[in-house]
Amino acid sequence: MIKWLEQHIPQKQLVLLLSLMVGVLSAMAAYVLKLFIHLIQYVINSYLIVGEHWWWLIVCPMIGIALAALFVKYVVRDDISHGITKILYAISQRKSIIKPHNTWSSLIGSGLTIGFGGSVGAEAPIVLTGAAIGSNLAKLFHLDQKTMMLMIGCGAAGAIGGIFKAPIAGLVFTLEVLMMDITMNSIAPLLISSVTATAIAYFTTGFTPMFELTTIESFTLRRIPWYLLLGAVCGFVSLYFTRGMNYLEQRFKRLKNMWVKIVLGGSVLGALVYLFPPLYGEGYDTILQLFSDNPQAGLEYSPLARLGEGTWVIIAYFSLVLLLKIVASVATNGGGGVGGIFAPSLFMGALTGFLCAYLLKLVGINVPVVNFTLVGMSGLMSGVMHAPLTGIFLIAELTGGYHLLMPLMIVAVVSYLTIMLFEPHSLYAMRLAQKGELLTHNKDRSVLTLLKMDNVLETDLRTVSPEMTLGQLVKVIADSKRNLFPVVDDRGELQGILLLDEVRNIMFQPRLYNRFTVAQLMNYPQAVLRRDMPMERVMELFEDTGAWNLPVVDEHNKYLGFVSKSKIFNSYRHVLVHFSDE
């Protein structure tokens, strides 16, 4: 069937057909994940948490973390955390190839984690699943790297559309977060996948938005200053989210024993859930309570409810929940669970907007709590993901609050501009950016990122040893077509380089053949490149040194070959033409 399709359908039409298939499969994957999570939650709520057995809420998260960790270690045998980061890495470093197990492993891992109460979201795992479906489907049809990249985008757009019923958000998420350039030939497949997945989500779960609102107040111009203030606050909370989560994750990575991670992560999460029940699970129930202007319900099962009621108690309680949410999320993922930061960012955004509205009311400024809660979600998503359009359209589609587009835009843009002053990359991208492995909308940098050292490495140069005499060197020069000779010792380590111009004036004087050795004639190169060095850094070294050829070594200083500036320019032009032919 694949051969028949390849022979009888032009590639453009085949891409459109595949984008439809990716949309269908991504939506079905999102539906299966939701069913799996709800099934586990139904069993827990119906058979475990009955009567006075509420303490199961503390134990269940550790059970979910342990099951997910064991599943990953003994079944998957591969790291499936940080789903969006894995997609970005696959696009920039793996020729858009995502491993086949990612089409199902994230579903099971995140389902176990979230179903048992892990304080993370299901959205990033389902986006990785959709992207893996697109990548492997494109690989099955022998499509090129550029088209595989587009299919990954279709899978991500379909996953967002399928799990959130948000077709526009699916499209702009692919543009902003996965940093794909939209062209006339790529926008149609992305829209087809996103709309198809959303239509299937409507068919399976109905037309009701995830957060149906009935008490939204109309936007008024006199509240613009307070929305500007909320946007700035969301930007700083996003900064806390990004840096705090990154710091805590690094601390968890230092633990090498799986069982120590499970016990520590489960214990921390269990203790937090005991004191702050809103930290249990994704937190969407708490968001609905805030939208219903019923924050007191969040204290219902907490021992801290004994502190009493009142505005200050609510503000203090939810402020602690806001600060500790990243601890609960990192404890979940660091302990061995599988989940994303979509839900935590929505949760913290809702709390930020709610708390800002309550504090403004305390000083006599009347603002609508529900409106602030809603647009706060947009602000946090925009700041954490560095994706203002995604924040705007996702919240509008999640809530049906399209008539609040103006405050959504204000808060999302101000939050984004605020965090950009401190963090140039999102939590997803910062790990890859530090290694020079991140694609961006800067065409030059993206092309350099796609270039690999192995593609430009030249290995046809004749090596010489430091002990070699001038007479022996002349014989090597006579058989060589290059004017550059790397000097390598018996262990294969680079000692220096020798240029033909440096010995041209003595190479025709036989009386000197035994007087000089290569060690006396060689020079140390202006710079030495490492095999794992990003190409952007390689070009910086070429510019700084003014060299046209630089040697490449591995981590043990073993000589591998040379890279020339002309070779990089030729490869650069080839990649640029390949990815810009539209």
Q: How confident is the model at residue 279 (pLDDT cuts 50, 70, 90)?
A: very high
Q: How confident is the model at residue 456 (pLDDT cuts 50, 70, 90)?
A: confident
pLDDT: which is higher, 231 or 512: 231
Residue 442 has pLDDT above 70, yes or no: no
The single-letter DSSP state of residue 46 is I
Phi, psi of 531 (to 5 degrees): -60, -35
Joined together, the tokens standing for residue 535 give 């190409």
Return the ∠ at Cα 493 (arms to 490 and 497), rounded to 5°.
Answer: 105
Joined together, the tokens standing for residue 17 give 């057909």
Residue 440 has pLDDT above 60, yes or no: no
* Cα(351)–Cα(370) distance, integer angstroms: 11
- pLDDT of amino acid 18: 93
Q: Is 225 helix (H, G, I), strand (E, B) or coil?
A: helix
Per-residue model confidence as pLDDT tens digits over 305-363: 777 777 888 999 999 999 999 999 999 999 999 998 889 999 999 999 999 999 999 98
Could you report how far apart the first and last alpha carbons of the chain are, in Å? 29
CB atoms under 10 Å from CB of 545, counted, come to 12
Residue 417 has pLDDT above 60, yes or no: yes
Return the ∠ at Cα 428 (arms to 122 and 272), rounded to 5°.
Answer: 55
Per-residue model confidence as pLDDT tens digits over 290-317: 888 788 888 877 888 777 777 888 999 9
Q: Which helix (H) or strand (E) holds 529?
A: strand 529-530
Q: How confident is the model at residue 79 (pLDDT cuts 50, 70, 90)?
A: confident
Per-residue model confidence as pLDDT tens digits over 104-152: 999 999 999 999 999 999 988 999 999 999 999 999 888 887 888 899 9
**What would the mean pLDDT of 371-394 be, rounded to a whole number?**
93
Fold type of domain 445-579: CBS-domain (3.10.580)
- Look at 162-171, 285-294, 341-350 and tell me which has the smallest mean pLDDT: 285-294
33, 110 in Cβ contact below 8 A? yes
* Cα(137)–Cα(19) distance, integer angstroms: 10
- pLDDT of amino acid 388: 93
Residue 251 has pLDDT above 80, yes or no: yes
Residue 177 has pLDDT above 90, yes or no: no
Residue 448 has pLDDT above 70, yes or no: no
* Cα(119)–Cα(341) distance, integer angstroms: 9
Residue 431 has pLDDT above 60, yes or no: yes
Q: How confident is the model at residue 435 (pLDDT cuts 50, 70, 90)?
A: low
Residue 413 has pLDDT above 90, yes or no: yes
Nearest to 81 by CA among 573, 312, 516, 427: 427
335, 264 in Cβ contact below 8 A? yes
CB atoms under 10 Å from CB of 475, counted, come to 12
Residue 271 has pLDDT above 60, yes or no: yes
- pLDDT of amino acid 97: 87
CA-atom Rg of the chain in angstroms = 29
Per-residue model confidence as pLDDT tens digits over 487-509: 998 888 888 888 887 787 787 78
Buried b (16+ CB within 10 A) or exposed e, 409-446: bbbbbbbbebbeeebebbbbbbbbeeebbbbeeeeebb
Q: What letter represents residue 108's amino acid?
A: I
Domains 2-205 and 445-579 share a fold: no
Strand pairing report for 494-499 and 484-488: antiparallel
User: How far is it between the farthest Cα atoms of the chain?
Assistant: 102
Joined together, the tokens standing for residue 277 give 């029940």
Three-class SS string for 202-214? HHHHCCCCCCCCC
* Cα(254)–Cα(176) distance, integer angstroms: 32
Which residues make Cβ contacts (< 8 Å) with residue 536, sequence separation at least 6? 436, 445, 448, 449
Residue 407 has pLDDT above 80, yes or no: yes
**What would the mean pLDDT of 458-484 be, rounded to a whole number?**
85
578, 146 in Cβ contact below 8 A? yes
Joined together, the tokens standing for residue 177 give 């977060």
Per-residue model confidence as pLDDT tens digits over 214-237: 677 888 889 999 999 999 999 999
Q: What letter represents residue 542's amino acid?
A: F
Q: How confident is the model at residue 547 (pLDDT cuts 50, 70, 90)?
A: confident
Q: What is the dotted CATH code of the domain comprising 2-205?
A: 1.10.3080.10
Joined together, the tokens standing for residue 127 give 């986006």
pLDDT: which is higher, 534 or 118: 118
* Cα(577)–Cα(580) distance, integer angstroms: 5
Q: How confident is the model at residue 169 (pLDDT cuts 50, 70, 90)?
A: very high
Beta bridge partners of 247: none
- pLDDT of amino acid 410: 96
Q: What letter represents residue 359's amino acid?
A: L
Q: How confident is the model at residue 95 (pLDDT cuts 50, 70, 90)?
A: confident
**What would the mean pLDDT of 265-279 be, rounded to a whole number?**
92
18, 10 in Cβ contact below 8 A? no
- pLDDT of amino acid 343: 92
* Cα(494)–Cα(27) distance, integer angstroms: 54
* Cα(192)–Cα(224) distance, integer angstroms: 37
* Cα(300)–Cα(57) distance, integer angstroms: 14
- pLDDT of amino acid 350: 95
Q: How confident is the model at residue 189 (pLDDT cuts 50, 70, 90)?
A: very high
pLDDT: which is higher, 7 or 69: 69
Percent of the chain with pLDDT strictly greater than 90: 42
pLDDT: which is higher, 455 or 131: 131
Strand pairing report for 549-553 and 529-530: parallel
Residue 439 has pLDDT above 80, yes or no: no
* Cα(152)–Cα(286) distance, integer angstroms: 33
Q: Which helix (H) or strand (E) holds 362?
A: helix 342-362
- What is the chain's mean pLDDT, rounded? 86
pLDDT: which is higher, 428 or 69: 69
Residue 21 has pLDDT above 60, yes or no: yes
Q: How confident is the model at residue 573 (pLDDT cuts 50, 70, 90)?
A: low
- pLDDT of amino acid 32: 95
* Cα(392)–Cα(519) distance, integer angstroms: 65
Q: What is the dotted CATH code of the domain comprising 221-440?
A: 1.10.3080.10
Nearest to 321 by CA among 276, 285, 283, 361: 276
Name the burial class of residue 264, with classes exposed (0-12), middle (13-18) and buried (19+) by CB atoms within 10 angstroms of its CB. middle
Domain spans of the chain, in order of start: 2-205, 221-440, 445-579
394, 157 in Cβ contact below 8 A? no
Beta bridge partners of 484: 499
Phi, psi of 558 (to 5 degrees): -80, 130
Percent of the chain with pLDDT strictly greater than 70: 91
